[in-house]
Every structure is written in structure tokens, then in C-alpha cells.
């Protein structure tokens, strides 16, 4: 498979019924992504054909290929949309609690676990369907996870970064936090959300604060 490009949308200045060609392509692309999230989340990527996605979106296959090279490109696009939205909701929640790191972790984790319940299909895509498809999909998923890792650095570890010894890096510590969250989430989804959201939040808060307080010094986190 060639490198996945999820952002290529042809542009045109032509206007039809008040919408440019580029706007119409964008609208169709959005419908396809929404259908992909629904079907990949419900049936799995491997069990979902391009034709099935197009039927769910109410579009012919030629409209699929104007925005996506293949199903893998769509899978990557769904991942980006889902993870961007989750990160944005987490940031908006953290902006409401100020500088308190423990509170930032709590509200971000609460937003994340709540999203997994409310948007179950989306959660299954980012936790299960992105794995083992191809090298290109693996690379795209790694890029998305890197964005989340940097968010952890910026919002959880930035205040203690100066206390982290030279033998360690904030980024790798953030990867550890994210890995813990990822594994907790996978097992929680597999259990059909057996534990309450607040219980999952407390566990993630304990793990993340364990790392943050190890380097807090005299700071009041």
C-alpha cells in the first residue's frame, strides 16, 4: 500500500446550487467518514467493504475514490477524526480547571472514558481496528498516538519537567501514561464497561499522578 493521505480533497472554483465543487466533495467525504465510523466500529474493518460504506453513506463508489485511495485510507481518516475530537474535548475540560494537575488528569480521563461509552463504535476503531492492518496504517496510528503523548507532556508533565533527571525524558514518561490508559481502556471495553466511569478515572488518576508526584519536588500539584 502507498502512503496514506487522508487530507487530499480536489479544489474547484465552480459553484453548483450555492456550493462550490470543493464544498460538495468535502460534504461527501464527511458522509463517508461517518459511515466508516459506524460500520468499522460495528462490524470491524476487515468485514466492511468499500461498497458497504458507500451504501451506508448513500453514495456511489466513484465518490468514495474521489477522496480516498482505498479502505485503509478511510480507516486512517476515521481514526484522525475520532482522536482529534477526543483530544479537543479533553483540552476543553482541562481548560476549565486551571493549573491543578490532578484535576486536569481527572477531567481528561473522565472525558475519555465517557466518550468510549457514548461513542462505542468510535472507541472500538481507535482501540482495536487500527492494529495489524498494514505498515501504513500502523504508521498513521503511531502519528496519532504521538499527538496524544505530546498532549500529556504539555498538560500533565510541563510543570515538573525541570525536575526530571537527565536519564529520563518527559515524552517517554508520557508514553507510559498513555500506554496505561490505552490498556485500561481496551480491557474495559472488552468487559462491556463492567466498572463505572468514575472507577476507571480514579485508576488512571492514580497511575498518572504517581508519575507526576515522583518529580514534583516542592510543587503543589
pLDDT (tens digit per residue) in 168-214: 999 999 999 999 999 999 999 999 999 999 999 999 999 999 999 99
> Does 217 have pLDDT greater than 90?
no
Query: What's the mean per-residue pLDDT of the chain?
Result: 91
pLDDT of residue 22: 77
Nearest Cα to 41, choosing from 108, 110, 118?
A: 118
**Spatial separation of the C-alpha atoms in residues 34 and 38, rounded to whole Å:** 6
Query: Chain centroid to CA 210: how far?
Result: 24
Question: Which domains can be identified in the chain, with CATH numbers?
Answer: 15-71 (1.10.10.60), 78-214 (1.10.357.10)
pLDDT of residue 182: 98
> Does 220 have pLDDT greater than 70?
no
pLDDT (tens digit per residue) in 56-65: 999 999 999 9
Task: Report whether 184 contacts 76 (CB < 8 A).
Answer: no
Whole-angstrom distance between the N-terminal and C-terminal Cα of the chain?
47
Q: Read off the pLDDT of each residue in 102-109 and give the average, rounded to a whole number.
A: 98
**Spatial separation of the C-alpha atoms in residues 118 and 6, rounded to whole Å:** 25
Task: Report whether 137 contacts 75 (CB < 8 A).
Answer: yes
pTM for the model stands at: 0.87
Amino acid at each position: 500500500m502507498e502512503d496514506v493521505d487522508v487530507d487530499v480533497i480536489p479544489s474547484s472554483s465552480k459553484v453548483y446550487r450555492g456550493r462550490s465543487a470543493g464544498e460538495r466533495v468535502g460534504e461527501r467525504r464527511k458522509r463517508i467518514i461517518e459511515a466508516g465510523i459506524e460500520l468499522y466500529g460495528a462490524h470491524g474493518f476487515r468485514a466492511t467493504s468499500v461498497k458497504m460504506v458507500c451504501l451506508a453513506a448513500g453514495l456511489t463508489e466513484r465518490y468514495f475514490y474521489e477522496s480516498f485511495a482505498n479502505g485503509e485510507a478511510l480507516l486512517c481518516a476515521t481514526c484522525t477524526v475520532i482522536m482529534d475530537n477526543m483530544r479537543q474535548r479533553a483540552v476543553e475540560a482541562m481548560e476549565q480547571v486551571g493549573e491543578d494537575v490532578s484535576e486536569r488528569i481527572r477531567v481528561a480521563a473522565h472525558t475519555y472514558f465517557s466518550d468510549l461509552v457514548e461513542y462505542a463504535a468510535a472507541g472500538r476503531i481507535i482501540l482495536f481496528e487500527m492494529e495489524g492492518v498494514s505498515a501504513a496504517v500502523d504508521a498513521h496510528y503511531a502519528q496519532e498516538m504521538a499527538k496524544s503523548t505530546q498532549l500529556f507532556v504539555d498538560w500533565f508533565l510541563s510543570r515538573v519537567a525541570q525536575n526530571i533527571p537527565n536519564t529520563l525524558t518527559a515524552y517517554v514518561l508520557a508514553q507510559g501514561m498513555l500506554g496505561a490508559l490505552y490498556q485500561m481502556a481496551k480491557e474495559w471495553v472488552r468487559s462491556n464497561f463492567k466498572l463505572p466511569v468514575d472507577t476507571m478515572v480514579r485508576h488512571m488518576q492514580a497511575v498518572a499522578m504517581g508519575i507526576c508526584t515522583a518529580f514534583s519536588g516542592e510543587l503543589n500539584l
